[in-house]
Amino acid sequence: MTGSTMSDQLSGRVAAVTGAGRGIGRGIALVLASRGAAVSVSDLDGAAAASVAAEIESSGGRSVSAAVDVTDPSSISRWIDSTIAVLGQVDICVPNAGVIGAAGFTTRKDYNSDDWRLTWGVNVQGLVNTADAVTPHMKQRRYGKIVNIASHGGREPRGVPDPGRGSIQAPYSVSKAAAIQWTHLLAIELGQFNINVNAVCPGRLWTPMWEAIALNHKALNPELSALSAREIFDRNIKATMPLGREQTPEDVGKAVAFLASEDASEITGQALNVNGGAIMN
């Protein structure tokens, strides 16, 4: 019996990933590359994107990189056009770039207008801008896989908020709920062009974003003052996740790889939780 192996699951495909210079985006880019895809790595920090691309190439993969601002449609369009010119096409698009809040988030109790403006601009409009740039190409080829990165924070709130959260994460949670709804609507629109649109909703990962959340908890809760940000994170994991462990960027990347593969050809308009069971829906 013969068949494809995991290492060639995405062989011949080209993936474009935003916010891939670090954290979840880096994990996604590395997993897609390990499954055989050529990867165009973008990030607001061009040096970070170039570093990830070099990492992929040093492992025998194909990669290009660019500095991209997802809030600027022209920036994304230039990146997609360049990716197609160099790598030939874009089969897989992963709009991953995201923010938790504006400057000063870690020490504030309540959200401000900058939090709303930034989270909406990056976490929602950034997804729309990315889709607008890549879908004409996918429609023409009548093929594409779009995997938005949302969050289980965009699901229905459950129980009492975590210590220190209060209203501070409201802009982030609302933006991620919008990302899930955008996924549903885009899947309906693009299905006729053989384009699958899904989302992955990560739970809690030790990334710079969650470190900022932990520091916010610490700043607003005196009883946590003796704990490090990592200790606060670990306590949260044990209290909220049935599996009792954090997720990793690679865990998210593996879910993205599945949804981007032909194994998921009949899956569209879905939002998959990768969260250790913290939220089940």
**Hey, what domains does the chain have and what are their CATH numbers?**
11-205+245-274 (3.40.50.720)
> What confidence score (pLDDT) does residue 163 get?
47
Beta bridge partners of 28: none
> What confidence score (pLDDT) does residue 76 get?
98
pTM: predicted TM-score of the whole model, two decimal places: 0.91
Q: How far apart are CA 259 and CA 51, in angstroms?
A: 26
Average pLDDT for runs of 10 along the chain of length 281: 64 98 97 98 98 98 98 98 98 97 85 95 98 98 98 76 61 95 98 98 86 85 91 89 93 98 98 92 81
| Residues designated as active site | 172
Q: How far apart are CA 96 and CA 114, in angstroms?
A: 21
> What confidence score (pLDDT) does residue 6 get?
65
Q: How many helices (H) and strands (E) does the chain have?
A: 9, 7
Q: How far apart are CA 170 and CA 176, in angstroms?
A: 10
Q: How far apart are CA 110 and CA 279, in angstroms?
A: 24
What tens digit of pLDDT does each residue of 220-278 get?
A: 888 998 999 999 989 988 988 899 999 999 999 999 999 999 999 999 999 999 999 98
Question: In 3D, which of 274, 7, 243, 49 has the Cα closest to residue 155?
Answer: 274
